[in-house]
Structure 1
Amino acid sequence: MKRLMFMLSVLLLFSSQNVFADEEISHNTFDYGDPVFLETVNMLSMEEHGTHDYASCSVKQVYYQEVAGMFQQGMTKDEIIDYYLKNQGVQALNAPPKEGFNLTLWALPFTALFLFSFFIFLFIKKWKRNAAKGLSTGSANLDEMEEELYASLIDKERKKYL
């Protein structure tokens, strides 16, 4: 009886190891270098672990295994992205989608920079025009009497120091 129990436990032990070995084989058969897989995984933020090294980051390894499992189940790239968007929201993506309010947020800084540059250009152009008008009209409108007055003041000051 003891032998039978021992044999059954050994048999159960070996059969369970084969199950785990089969999982390892199926896990290792997925091509992690597939361009569609890499594109999908690179779109995910992975809870801010997306830039970490795969070998040392357990969170990134879990995401890779989840996405690989989804591909093996027959899900497409868009279905996987939708799954993460439903579960985690827009924070699941590295970059928000360029539609709706997010599109406004993408375009607003460039529009503001363009408008600011345009108004600075107009201000400088107007400033130059007014400066050029001020110099030409200011010297042309002096009367002869003012010129004589300035000339006499200059002569008087010059005679003081000679």
Structure 2
Amino acid sequence: MKTFILLTISIFFIAVPVLAETPTVSSVEKHLMCTCGCTMPLYTCECQKSEEMRTEIKQMIERGMTQQEILDSYVSRFGEKILSAPTKKGFNLVAWILPFLSVILVGGVLIKTVKRWSHPETKQESGPSEKLDPKYLEQLENELSHFEEKGE
């Protein structure tokens, strides 16, 4: 009896990964765009072309193809534009990174701008930073006194 139970449990654990890897039409169609030209993902499109694609996906699943094999088949026929999301490889990686990078960059600029507005820089009072040369100070005094004499 114990052997039967252990055998049943082991078969269950062996079969679970196989069942988990079997794709469904709905799991595959979430990764594809409809080819009718409507620019909608396949799982939301209701046109005749989408029904044909669903039938073809179902046939591929019945032939034992995995989800990745089905997606690769469509990519080989239609190119990467058939995928509902860009791949995370090569130049397409920019499409995944750029939005996050721009949010961080804009956030940093906003924080810096708000800090600058809320804490304006204090200005130093104007005036001579060094003592004037006595020669020039004497010349200034002479010219000011000469100017005052003419003004009276």
Please tell me the residue identity of whatever aligns with 1:101.
Answer: F
Cα pair 2:23 2:67 within 8 Å, conserved: no
Q: Report the 3-state secondary structure (helix = DSSP H, G, I; strand = E; otherwise coil) of the residue aligned with 1:98.
A: coil
Aligned to 1:37: 25
Aligned length: 100
CA distance in 2, matches of 1:75, 1:109: 34
Q: CA deviation at 1:35?
A: 6.2
The question of 1:46 aligning with 2:34 is answered yes
Q: CA deviation at 1:93?
A: 1.0
Please tell me the residue identity of whatever aligns with 1:38.
Answer: S
Q: Deviations over 1:59-104 (max 9, x none)?
A: 0111011111111222111111000011111111111112222121
The question of 1:67 aligning with 2:57 is answered yes
Q: TM-score, normalised by structure 2?
A: 0.56
Q: CA deviation at 1:39?
A: 0.4
Q: Report the 3-state secondary structure (helix = DSSP H, G, I; strand = E; otherwise coil) of the residue aligned with 1:112.
A: helix
CA distance in 2, matches of 1:35, 1:76: 6
Equivalences for residues 39-118 of structure 1 within 5 A: 39-47=27-35, 48=39, 50=42, 51-53=44-46, 57-118=47-108
Identity of aligned residues (%): 29
Q: Report the 3-state secondary structure (helix = DSSP H, G, I; strand = E; otherwise coil) of the residue aligned with 1:94.
A: coil
CA distance in 1, matches of 2:92, 2:55: 30
Q: TM-score, normalised by structure 1?
A: 0.53
The question of 1:125 aligning with 2:115 is answered yes
CA distance in 2, matches of 1:65, 1:59: 10
Higher helix share: 1
Dislocated runs of 4+, deviation >4 Å: none
Consecutive unaligned residues of structure 2, counting only runs of 5 or more, are: 1-21, 128-152
